[in-house]
Amino acid sequence: MWGRHREAFSMYKRMPSRDHSTLVDDVEENSALLQNSMDVETTNPSWLLSFPHVVVATISSLLFGYHLGVVNEPLESISMDLGFRGNTLAEGLVVSTCLGGAFIGSLFSGWIADSAGRRRAFQLCALPMIIGAATSATTRTLAGLLIGRFLVGTGMGIGPPVASLYLAEVSPASLRGTYGSFIQIATCLGLMGALFIGIPFREIAGWWRICFWVSTVPAGILAFAMIFCAESPHWLYKKGRSAEAEAEFERLLGGSHVKYAMLELSKLDRGDEADTVKLSELLRGRHFRVVYIGSTLFALQQLSGINAVFYFSSSVFESARVPSDVANALIGVANLTGSIVAMLLMDKLGRKLLLLWSFFGMTMSMVLQVAAANSYVSGSGSLYLSVGGMLMFVLTFALGAGPVPGLLLPEIFPNRIRAKAMAFCMSVHWVINFFVGLLFLRLLEQLGPQLLYSIFASVCMMAVIFVKKNVMETKGKSLQEIEIALLPPE
User: Do 450 and 234 touch, CB atoms closer than 8 A?
Assistant: no
pLDDT in tens, 119-168: 999 999 999 999 999 999 999 999 999 999 999 999 999 998 999 999 98
Cα(472)–Cα(490) distance, rounded to whole angstroms?
Answer: 21
Does residue 374 register a pLDDT over 80? no
With cut-offs at 50, 70 and 90, classify the pLDDT of residue 378: low
Q: Which residues, including other chains, have CB under 8 Å from residue 194's CB and lie 6 or more apart?
A: 65, 66, 67, 68, 69, 70, 72, 73, 211
What's the confidence (pLDDT) of residue 144? 94
pLDDT at 14 over 60: no
Encode pLDDT of 329-356 as tens digits.
Answer: 788 889 899 999 999 999 889 899 999 9
Residue 18 confidence class, pLDDT cut points 50, 70, 90: very low
Residue 19 has pLDDT above 70, yes or no: no
Q: Is the pLDDT of residue 70 over 80?
A: yes
Its pTM stands at 0.80
Looking at residue 127, what is its pLDDT? 96
Q: Report residue 415's pLDDT band, with 50, 70 and 90 as the boundaries.
A: confident
Give me the percent of the chain exceeding a pLDDT of 90. Answer: 35
Residues 270-280: tens digit of each pLDDT: 544 445 667 66
pLDDT score recorded for residue 377 = 58
Residue 366 has pLDDT above 60, yes or no: yes
pLDDT digits (tens, 9 = 90+) for 211-233: 999 999 999 999 999 999 999 99
Give the Cα separation of 149 and 142 in Å (integer): 10
Residue 425's nearest CA partner among 439, 436, 411 is 411
Q: Please tell me the distance from the alpha carbon of residue 302 to that of residue 298, in angstroms, as a whole number.
A: 6
pLDDT of residue 90: 84
The whole-angstrom separation of Cα 258 and Cα 420 is: 27
- In this prediction, residue 15 has a pLDDT band, given cuts at 50, 70 and 90, of very low
Contact by Cβ (8 Å): 199, 325: yes
Are 360 and 464 spatial neighbours (Cβ–Cβ below 8 Å)?
Answer: yes
pLDDT value at 95 more than 60: yes
The predicted-structure confidence for 154-180, as pLDDT tens digits, reads as follows 999 999 899 999 998 999 888 888 898
In this predicted model, what pLDDT tens digit does every residue of 448-462 receive, in sequence order?
Answer: 878 888 999 999 999
- Structure confidence at residue 69 (pLDDT): 83
User: pLDDT by residue (tens digit) across 26-67?
Assistant: 434 444 444 444 444 457 788 888 999 999 999 999 999 999
Judged against a pLDDT cut of 70, whether residue 244 lies above it is answered with yes
Average pLDDT of the chain is 82
At residue 1, does pLDDT exceed 50? no
